[in-house]
């Protein structure tokens, strides 16, 4: 079951990076074709990176909702399980002290 937790997080992360990379390459092409303005001096790469981050964030939010919800659900389950184990350990310590 631990593998499915890792895979949901890994899958979401890789898909998020894929959306960013796709935006980056599309924007780079548009700048190269002079559809979008170039950066000043040597700042062209920085301009495209910032623009790709700004565009990929809302796209990821909308396009990866299902993956994000699955990852969040698995994280909540894991945190709840850890909390219950911690509470069980506390109650065992309390009963051992009595």
> pLDDT digit string (tens) for 57-83?
999 999 999 999 999 998 898 899 999
Which range in 2-11, 37-46, 61-70 is most confidently predicted, on average pLDDT? 61-70
Residue 5 pLDDT:
52
Task: Please tell me whether the overall predicted TM-score, pTM, comes out greater than 0.75 for this model.
Answer: no
- Residue 16 near residue 66 (C-beta atoms within 8 A): no
- Does the structure show a pLDDT above 80 at 95? no
């Amino acid at each position: 079951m631990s593998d499915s937790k890792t895979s949901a997080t890994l899958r979401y992360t890789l898909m998020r990076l894929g959306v960013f990379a796709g935006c980056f390459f599309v924007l780079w092409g548009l700048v190269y074709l002079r559809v979008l303005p170039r950066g000043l001096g040597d700042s062209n790469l920085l301009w495209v990176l910032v623009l790709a981050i700004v565009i990929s964030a809302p796209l990821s939010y909308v396009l990866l909702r299902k993956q994000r919800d699955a990852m969040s659900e698995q994280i909540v389950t894991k945190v709840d399980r850890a909390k219950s184990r911690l509470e069980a350990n506390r109650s065992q310590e309390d009963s051992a002290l009595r």
